[in-house]
Amino acid sequence: MSVQRAPVGPVAETASARRDLSGRRIVAKRFLRHRLAAAGTVALLALATCCFGASWIAPYPRNAQDLLTGARQPSIAHWLGTDDLGRDYLSEVLYAGQVSLSIGLCVAVLSTALGTLVGAIAGFTGGWAEEVIMRVTDLFLIVPGIAVLALALEGLGPSPVTIVLVLTGLGWTVIARVVRSQVISLREKEFVEAARVIGASGVRIITRHLLPNLVGVIAVNMSLAVAGAIILESTLSFLGFGIQPPQSSWGNLLTQAASLVGTPKAYLLYAPGAAILLTVLAVNFVGDGLRDAFDPQGRK
């Protein structure tokens, strides 16, 4: 926040800037004190580093087949064993994580951005725009989600990009409803009234006055969206509508391992699922931490 753009004079602005800074520090402090949230952040960073740095970190190059070895139980040379084609499973899981994590993150960012935008406009303007948007989200509540996703992917083809778009297309309504209800209660507050009296435009009120108050809600929702998108992607892959081989994601690795239940190769089942579990768990902890950190009623 710069002093030059201050609408209410330099004194008030520097005071609010100072408060803003310490507010941010309080949030950061509370978040770090939340031990599980801190652990979740570390776990997520570690996972992301290992997956996206897989070309340096993974013990074997991508898709390095060794048909003579075939599927082997976990050993010192191959920590998670090898699959049918003799590929090191740890490396495969790490590379697959790139796709899963990217999809989770992209869907979360896109659906949160879209949902926040739509929800804020609906809540702030009211009237027919709100009516239309709310009826549309009503519609999304009753259509069978997994069926619509499968249908859309069948129609558009299952590439990572279409998966992101389709999951975003179905996911934005959740955050839109939340943001709308928050904006409706905020828009009657005195500081919004004051901004309007000064002559601030609607866009300015939304971006400078309303949205900063919703950062907590938005952040929490985004973390939940990451978790939801990763699980949904793996479920769709399992049903045959997700990422297709030779591209791989955690869901897709699990799908290939699913037929191995009851055979000696069942060990291939554990690693991709555990990766999903760990990611979602960590993301949920981060979400909990954010919720507590941004909660104005929380202890300092």
Partner 1 sequence: MLRFVIRRLVYSVPVVAAASLILFWGVRSTFDPLAKLRQGHDAGALRREVARLGLDRPVLEQYVLWMKAFATGGWGTSTRTGGDVRAMIGSALATTVQLVFWGVLLATVLALGIGVYSAVRQYSAGDYVLTALSYLGIAMPAFWCGLILIQLLAVWPKERFGLAEPPLYFVGLHSPGRSGFDMDYLRHLALPVITLTISLIASWSRFSRASMLEALSSDYVRTARAKGVPSRQIFVRHALRNSLASFVTVVALDSAILFGGLVVTEQIYAIPGMGRLFLASMLAGDVFVLIPWMLIVALATVLFNLAADLGYALLDPRVVLR
Place of tokens 């699980």: 231
| Residue from 191, 188, 197 nearest 12 by CA | 191
CA separation for the pair 10, 286 (Å, rounded): 37
CA separation for the pair 204, 207 (Å, rounded): 5
For the bound state, the minimum distance from the C-beta of residue 230 to partner 1, rounded and expressed in Å, comes to 9
3-state secondary structure 51-68: HHCHHHHCCCCCCCCCCC
Burial call 91-108: b when 16+ CB within 10 Å, e when fewer: bbbbbbbbbbbbbbbbbb
Handedness of CA 147, 150, 156, 160 (dihedral sign): positive
Query: What is residue 16's three-state secondary structure?
Result: helix
- Interface residues with partner 1 (CB under 8 A)? 135, 138-139, 141-148, 150-152, 154-155, 227, 231, 234-235, 238-241, 251, 254, 257-258, 261-262, 266, 269-270, 273, 276-277, 280-281, 284-285
DSSP assignments along 116-177, one per residue:
HHHHHHHHHH-HHHHHHHHHHHHHHHHS-HHHHHHHHHHHH---HHHHHHHHHHHHHHHHHH
Q: Pick the closer one to partner 1 by CB: 61 or 145.
A: 145
For the bound state, the minimum distance from the C-beta of residue 245 to partner 1, rounded and expressed in Å, comes to 17
For residue 252, give every residue at least 6 positions away whose Cβ sits within 8 Å of its Cβ, in sequence order, or none: 96, 234, 237, 242, 243, 244, 245
Q: Pick the closer one to partner 1 by CB: 170 or 195.
A: 170
Q: Pick the closer one to partner 1 by CB: 60 or 267.
A: 267
Q: Pick the closer one to partner 1 by CB: 10 or 240.
A: 240
Q: Pick the closer one to partner 1 by CB: 111 or 234.
A: 234
For the bound state, the minimum distance from the C-beta of residue 49 to partner 1, rounded and expressed in Å, comes to 21
For the bound state, the minimum distance from the C-beta of residue 88 to partner 1, rounded and expressed in Å, comes to 21
Q: Pick the closer one to partner 1 by CB: 9 or 262.
A: 262
Q: Pick the closer one to partner 1 by CB: 34 or 187.
A: 34
Half-sphere exposure of 223 toward its Cβ, with a 13 Å CA cutoff?
A: 22
CA separation for the pair 43, 284 (Å, rounded): 12
Identity of the amino acid at 34 = H
Q: Pick the closer one to partner 1 by CB: 138 or 295.
A: 138
For residue 194, give every residue at least 6 positions away whose Cβ sits within 8 Å of its Cβ, in sequence order, or none: none
For the bound state, the minimum distance from the C-beta of residue 264 to partner 1, rounded and expressed in Å, comes to 10
